[in-house]
Structure 1
């Protein structure tokens, strides 16, 4: 589709500097109508305040704000938790998990409005361009995708500010912004500034949600989480939906300095980047789920779930949500998680989450078998034959070596 054939574009709009500049740029370069699409994924009222008027002031013909928080939790976050997915051992995939629901809603709006193109503000260096465009390709391959950062001549915040000034478009952005941040219900990420040098420790200016462990209360707090088939249903005995539960645990975890990580990760596009992430509620939920898994899963089931988790983390990070592989992996994890019903009490203290208590009707733990006291259910003499068979290959190998 040529530039001339683009008449109506739906832009993933945030109200930040980049997307504020994209609106007039699209009109200048494609001579098209621009419709702003804003996804409410729990980034907070401050970011959403006045966003419709901001989009109109930038030149958009209209602005749609769509609440996607329940979809994010129920269709992506909770299913992903069942897989135990953690990218490169630390990252709980906060940015990655939001992209499928945002892209899908953007496509839905574009099709409803008869648009012929989609636009995003992702840079040509990052992972998000792949995540968005991978989803677009799976859901609406007939729509043209416009990625201004891969087309325009701007190369700095100042050049974008100059362009907006030239167009007489108001903005609250400034050239002195240090950090690049992305927030949603699950987490907030931080990049740029002093942490671009991996030898620099993150300053207090980086963290926005969580207290430092040094500032956290000196007294531990206990929180009880109740799960049904791997999904969180109650916090401290109170039933609540997923959005409310995550919001509550974010607040509790932040108070105790829980959920901070500082990671140098491998981006999909090949480069390494350093990011600082805060995922307080997610860290609590995942710790509790793993505590429940230890009680319920047998050895081989747990090993397989861990393998699924590794593969699923890579899949989510790489933006392959709308694929048959996602469906297959999720089906396996969901099948295993049917056993994950029970209660877990976690202890929050100075940035740490530890499992204090756990119980489940599906527990495979038996005091009768595990006790160090006398029992009538386990004959220790039986272990001799098991060990002989278990080590048979080593025994035969050693006999061969001795014979040689």
Structure 2
């Protein structure tokens, strides 16, 4: 629609009065579009449309795609925590259909570069993972973001949702078999599904797995060895490894207890709190990483350290999990001092290795929307800006950091230019970040 209106504005053959009217309408349309683009309601509604989902935001650039994922995931988690699922009878899934009449929705899902390529940060949602168990044992949220279930009916998204309200009996039975298969073999959910899909019956799938030499190689970590190590570090009269055991573990691993790599270990082992490790998380986490001895764990720490430094997706997973496991029980926010401590570990590590390498606007597509591109070295966030951020938060009187601010800050670091000139105030950034941009611009103007 915008392209059509712009063509009329540029058409000098039209009556000037008509062109002025169209220009006024185009201006108003841009205003409404800007409001809609920054509205959380619009973002959530768009992602909830099974034909559009997060991938629709790809043409708006990586920052907006990531914001859409973060906002939608936050809303989902809040809803899931307060609303237990209701059992209802599903209806047959609607078949994908497009009317082909050139209407608004058809234009919306094809608008962009027109090549039909869904690659990019929103193409698969948040389904990638370095942990094979987590990658396949997807949550309901990740399965939806990955495109599971197909696009449904373009003009009747509710039909798709009605058909997906509960799992089918066959899906529930498969989930049970996967759980049993993994429990017996120690295999990942991905391998369990592969064998069960091929052999159907659980007993036949188990026989095939144990007769496959390559399958055995994927589950070499010993549960008994990991259990013995866990017992070495856990509290004598408790069930978990706590602070004292963690310090002893760090000594054996030759790692400082404040080393950033331990945040990656906390993510992999699903630590419930700082300095605490459960037997289940310990065993499943190290088995997924394929190690069961201290020397092997030392080697794995270096791998995790490098992944955190270089892999943007992995850095983001560890970064977001840090907020969850370090937040005090029952609290919605993280204390400012603690948040600053973790930022001081994470941000320099991501900047140095490239996980937080700057991405910049790479011009506009045919519809006038910004696309993202790599930027020249030195164009983005500087180390000094992290201290500015701390000083701004302290001066603002903030006592804690919300989940929204925590998650969006790492993306802000990746996308802001070094002079804070290209910040999009109409995007869905938290107001805390909006205010910091003004603070930083004032400091730069004053020669700070």
* TM-score normalised per structure 1: 0.26
Name the one with the larger strand percent: 1
* TM-score normalised per structure 2: 0.24
Name the one with the larger helix percent: 2
